[in-house]
Structure 1
Amino acid sequence: MSYSTFFPVAFPALAIAHFLALLSPGQDFFLIVAHSIRHRLQGSRFICLGVALGNGLYIGVAIFGWTIIRDNQAIYLVVEVVGGLWLLWLGYALLRSKKRNTDLDFEQLEVPSVLKQLVLGFNSAILNPKNALFYMSLMTVILGNEVTLTQQVSCGMWMFFAVLVWDLFVASMIAQPKVQRPLSNYIHVVERAAGLVLFFFGLSLFIGYLH
């Protein structure tokens, strides 16, 4: 089977557009940064997987043409409001971060369980309905109507692994000891900054409803 069996002609454009979107820091990015700073890769790698799984679910929605979220305003509103509240709570929790001992021993910090990491990452991605609209738009506008189901699935798998690999790369870079040491006195500052950004994301949603 040839390349065109699995990937359409527009695949390079799709891959570039998707990667450029990954470069734009969003709520998932700041969540991963905050946990990588505090818990290194051990405490953030499954957050990355959870984020990828959340994106994967929305990719599946886009591929198989489920328009229930996009067309049903009530469901979209519920997901959006719950997502906004989730970001407010998560941001508030990070804003309460306290300064630790300057001789921080990372091995003594309690690392979040695999399940907790997965839930954090998955919720961050799935409670952002704009992800669904992004993937639907991406698949529809760039790939067009001539794309086959096989090509759609192949593109979807590429985007899933692109999210996972990119997030793991970000987490692993921040988790490096040479990065951790200079940051050891400023972990609470970074976490509070990440919390402020996440809180702003959530707050901006509700401010938008007032206009």
Structure 2
Amino acid sequence: MSLDYLIPAAFPALILAHFVALLSPGQDFFLISASAVRHGLAGSRFICLGVALGNGVYIAIAILGWSGIRDSPQLFSIIETLGAIYLLWIGIQLLRSQAGDFVTGDSAGHAPSIRRQLISGLNSALLNPKNALFYMSLMTVILGPDATLAQQIFCGLWMFATVLCWDLLLARAIGLQRVRKMLGQSIHLIERGAGGVLAALGIGLFLQSGR
């Protein structure tokens, strides 16, 4: 089987556009970072999986050619509003972080449950309708109409794997014991900072959805 069967000519451009987007800190970045700083990789790896699965849903939607979110302003507005509420809630929780409640030892036993992590990651990705528009744009503008279903699926799997690996790498780097120990005295400030950013994103999204 020729590689051309799976890899479209525009694949390098797709990789570049997708990775540049990953480098831009967004709500997923701050959610993963805050959890990794406090709980290490044990408390954030399934958040990473949830984020990747949420992205995977929108990638699948883009491959199937479903444009209901883009073409339905009411549906788009509802998702934006729900996303804004979720970001505000997460932001408020992080803003309540207090000094002195961080243990520099192995805190894996106190990490959020797998279910809770997955739900947090899924919510963060799915309640951001811009993810849907981003992947639709990649599939339609960069790959174009000539891309086969096999090529679209291959690109979709690549992007899913890239999101998962990048987020896990981020969580692993931030969750290193020496990094967490170094940041131990200021973790509550980091969490409050992340909470402020998430809350600001939520307020901005809420105002945008109300236009």
TM-score (norm. length: structure 1): 0.96
Aligned identity (percent) is: 55
Q: Measure how far apart 1:151 and its partner are.
A: 0.1
Partner of 2:183: 183
Instruction: Indicate the residue corresponding to 2:62 in structure 1.
Output: 62
Distance 1:210 1:84, change over 3 A: closer
After superposition, the C-alpha distances for 1:146-190 in whole angstroms (9 at most, x for unaligned) are: 000000000000000000000000000001122111101111011
Structural mapping, 1:115-134, within 5 Å: 115-134=115-134
2:137 corresponds to which residue? 137
- Residue 185 of structure 2: SS of its match in structure 1? coil
Alpha-carbon distance between aligned partners in 1 of 2:185 and 2:148, rounded to the nearest angstrom = 53
Could you tell me which residue of structure 2 aligns to residue 36 of structure 1? 36
8 Å contact 2:104–2:180 — kept in the other structure?
Answer: no
Q: Given residue 57 of structure 2, which amino acid in structure 1 is its aligned partner?
A: L
State how far apart, in whole Å, the 1-side matches of 2:23 and 2:103 are.
Answer: 33
Tell me by how many angstroms 1:104 deviates.
Answer: 3.4
Please give the alpha-carbon distance, in whole angstroms, between the structure 1 residues aligned to 2:26 and 2:120: 15
2:195 is aligned to 195
Q: Give the number of equivalent residue pairs.
A: 211
CA distance 1:143–1:189, shift in 2 (3 Å): same
Equivalent in the alignment of 1:12? 12
- 1:206 CA drift (Å): 2.6
Aligned to 2:207: 207
Q: 2:85: which partner in 1? A: 85
Moved more, 170-179 or 156-165: 170-179
Q: 1:177 to 1:63 in 2, by over 3 A?
A: same
C-alpha spacing 1:209/1:115, structure 2 compared with 1 (3 Å): closer
Taking the aligned partners of 1:90 and 1:103, their CA distance within structure 2 comes to 22
Deviation of 1:107 after TM superposition, in Å, equals: 2.8
Distance 1:9 1:93, change over 3 A: same
3-state SS of the aligned residue for 1:186? helix
CA 1:131–1:158: 2 relative to 1, 3 Å: same
Establish whether residue 163 from structure 1 lines up as the match of residue 163 from structure 2: yes
Mean Cα displacement is larger for which, 92-101 or 141-150?
92-101
2:205 is paired with a residue whose SS is: helix
Q: C-alpha displacement at 1:210, in angstroms? A: 6.4
Counterpart AA for 1:48: C
After superposition, residues 17-28 of structure 1 pair within 5 angstroms as: 17-28=17-28
Q: CA RMSD in A?
A: 1.4
Q: Which runs of 5+ in 1 are unaligned?
A: none
Provide the residue aligned with 2:51 in structure 1.
51
Letter in 1 for 2:51: V
What TM-score does the superposition give when structure 2 sets the normalisation length?
A: 0.96
Aligned counterparts of 1:58 and 1:115: Cα–Cα separation in 2? 21
CA distance in 1, matches of 2:49, 2:90: 18
